Amino acid sequence: MTQTLTPTGARLPASLGRSLRRLALAALLTTLAPATAGAQALQFRIDEGATTNAFYQDGPVAAHVLATSGTRPRLLVAFPAGNSGVAVWFAPTTAPVQWTLQSVRAQPPGDDPAMHGVVAELALRGGPLTLDKAALGSIRVLRDVQLGQPIPAQVETAAKVAAQRISWARRRLDGAPGYRVALEITQGRVVSRAGTITLEPERPNGTVHLRLFASTGETPLTPLAGGELLNAKAAHDPRMRNALQFLSYREKFLAGSWRFDTYFGRDTLMSTRLLMPVLQPAAVEAGLGAVLARLSPQGEVAHEEDIGEFAILRHLASDGTRSDAPIYDYGMIDGDYMLAPVMAAWLVEDPRGQARARAFLAARNELQHSSNGQALLRNLLHVARNSEAFAAAPTFDHLLALKPGRMTGQWRDSEEGLGRGRYPFDVNVVWMPAALRAIGAFVDSGLLDGVADDAQRQALRAAAARADAWERQARALFDVRLDATQADAALRTYARQLGVPVEPAVASLGNDGLTFPALSLDADGRPVPVLHSDIGFGLLFGRPDPDTLAREVAAVMRPFPAGLITDVGMVVANPVFAGQAAWARLGPQAYHGTVVWAWQQAVMLAGLRRQLARDDLPAPVRMQLQQAQARLLELIKAAGAVRTSELWSWRWEQGRYRIEPFGAQGAHEDESNAAQLWSTVFLADPSTHE
């Protein structure tokens, strides 16, 4: 459920010299329009499962407050500034407790002007609550602590108890302004005895009222707000617009909150591409520029960045310094091949981008100490070099593989996400051919003139010519074929284990057996027979022939567990044909298992639309794609309650699949973000909001 928070008062002025008239006006606006936090502030709320999420953004203050009820209560505040945060965990309770988050407002200026934060008013029923632990600093540390790891000794912070107030505060490890969190009890009492601290109501079954103060000294980001972000074509979905605004800054887009409040390359590229029709040009170029700024010297796309205090922790471990210089992760491989097609979609294909292309490429990228065009060229040459081996000898061992020692390398970046494969389908069958075609588009456009020399342009032209053969030959290596008897037996056993109906799935197969592309190839080149949603990438960026198109869309659109379609959406993986060991690893509790990711549905829908724009489709294939499009639209609209979430799971109950917020059950291996960048991409498709 989404709500607008009701503020308890206008934000205090930054200077005592502001006029009384302006203060009076602010107070009047608060009284007359309690659904907003003031003329400039963004406030909204998302309730998911046991957690209430309240978002606040106004100038240098941006914060995401989480209050988790139930038997594992928690208070957490995440700040986009420095990917920082604070959290207080309480000891498990025998009976569920209930937080009510009443309001959030900006903290007034205090003793340190570098500190920015919020004050939240809360009520607690079902107490008492005993404090377990608190952590202050990087969101990366808070994520680890949430998953059961100990708080690093360097950042442990002792609680201070004074009357009705419990507080934790420290400076950053390099002495810079740090982090603060405090609980101030306004009704109830703080009891400190025998090394424990407990929040108690004044009488049995009473309510504890408290204020949560949280602040960070990390450098604030600059919001992309109002007319800087979206154009008039964007859908009028308040929840999605709010989530996107909270995650969008001139410096970078954030992947999601609370767990990923910073740059992620893949998330930025895919979200920018899908939102491109409704983004303002400056917003598109903010996203693309952030990716270019973080390229490696070889042209690799950074997957993630370690910034703020987490960078200091990394430097202390590696070189003994307290440097906060960012550390970039280049362990993923898919982003390297996404960059060119996404850049081409803006600079070569979009008329708005075409008009700005030369200025954008000529602009100096301060993090790269070069122009954007020179940074892009490094990536294009990196792609071209990596296309040579398979083009010369198209065997599986010349495909693009995960980096040595890693089990992850594309968007399914959990350890089991690729079914333990080494050669991902999407990187090899979709992204490399798309990148090669984009290289050709850049060379033909003349945008590289004056950036690439003659030899480099010749190498790029040679690489572009490999695209069609690469796509055709790579795809053949991923084919999985099952006869009807094999498929039927696997379906019945798997459905029985899950406790879901099987007859609609069996009926969808017919008597002709089954062919679909594997999720990946293992180290020996054998297909990993997991059905998957990455087919959508091929629809959006690839050029499948009509027969391949029909076969792959059918593989997706069959009812689960024969395909990916459930009442609550399209699951991203289905291990039904991969054996019982894979069933346990890729189930509804797994981060990249039989769960629904909103953005994957958006990719599939956009891909279907792109393929339907072709003029070479036989009538039966066109009808098949239209039916798939209509069914997918139904599912997207039906999941409106969780539409900005990162992902969700499901349960079978009363004869149908029902949404289960991911992270709501102890068996889930992680939790979902309430606001996820690439889950806002439906703003570019008004039909999903009709």
Q: Mind listing the pLDDT tens digit for each residue in 19-30?
A: 333 333 333 223
Check: CB of residue 283 under 8 Å from CB of residue 677: no
Query: Is 14 a residue whose pLDDT tops 60?
Result: no
Q: What would the mean pLDDT of 11-26 be, rounded to a whole number?
A: 33
Per-residue pLDDT band at 666 (split at 50, 70, 90): low
Cα dihedral 110/84/263/685 (nearest 10): -80
H/E stretch holding 141 reads helix 139-146
Query: Is 4 a residue whose pLDDT tops 50?
Result: no
Q: What is the pLDDT of residues 355-403, one digit of tens each?
A: 999 999 999 988 888 999 999 999 999 999 999 999 999 999 999 999 9
Nearest to 288 by CA among 306, 308, 271, 305: 271
With a CB cutoff of 8 Å and minimum separation 6, the contacts of 315 are 321, 322, 323, 324, 325, 327
The identity of residue 9, as a single letter, is G
User: CA 595, CA 669: separation in Å to the nearest integer?
Assistant: 12
Query: Is 40 a residue whose pLDDT tops 90?
Result: no
Query: Is 44 a residue whose pLDDT tops 70?
Result: yes
Mean pLDDT of the chain: 92
Query: Is 681 a residue whose pLDDT tops 50?
Result: yes
The β-bridge relationship of strands 196-200 and 129-138 is: antiparallel
Which range is least confidently modeled, 28-42, 349-363, 548-562, 620-634? 28-42
Question: Cα-flanking dihedrals φ and ψ of residue 141, to 5°?
Answer: -70, -45
Q: What would the mean pLDDT of 450-476 be, rounded to a whole number?
A: 97
Q: What is the pLDDT of residue 663?
A: 74
CA distances for 526 relative to 395, 522, 523, 529, 596, angstroms: 12, 5, 7, 9, 27
Q: What would the mean pLDDT of 129-143 be, rounded to a whole number?
A: 97
Check: CB of residue 307 under 8 Å from CB of residue 326: yes
Q: What would the mean pLDDT of 280-292 be, rounded to a whole number?
A: 98
CA distances for 183 relative to 5, 62, 120, 164, angstroms: 20, 20, 10, 8
Q: What is the pLDDT of residue 643?
A: 78
Query: Is 38 a residue whose pLDDT tops 50?
Result: no
Query: Is 127 a residue whose pLDDT tops 90?
Result: no
Q: What is the pLDDT of residue 620?
A: 98
Q: What would the mean pLDDT of 537-558 be, rounded to a whole number?
A: 96
Region for residue 188 given its phi and psi (left: phi exceeds 0; alpha: psi -120 to 50; beta: otherwise): left
Query: Is 305 a residue whose pLDDT tops 80?
Result: yes
Q: What is the pLDDT of residue 563?
A: 98
Per-residue pLDDT band at 645 (split at 50, 70, 90): confident
Query: Is 445 a residue whose pLDDT tops 50?
Result: yes
Q: What is the pLDDT of residue 194?
A: 87
Q: What would the mean pLDDT of 165-194 be, rounded to a whole number?
A: 97
Question: Cα-flanking dihedrals φ and ψ of residue 460, to 5°?
Answer: -70, -40
Q: What is the pLDDT of residues 203-256, one digit of tens each?
A: 999 999 999 999 999 999 999 977 899 999 999 999 999 999 999 999 999 999
Q: What percent of the chain has pLDDT over 90?
A: 87
User: CA 57, CA 118: separation in Å to the nearest integer?
Assistant: 10
Which range is least confidently modeled, 21-30, 121-130, 476-485? 21-30
Query: Is 264 a residue whose pLDDT tops 50?
Result: yes
Model's pTM, two decimal places? 0.91
Q: What would the mean pLDDT of 69-90 be, rounded to a whole number?
A: 98
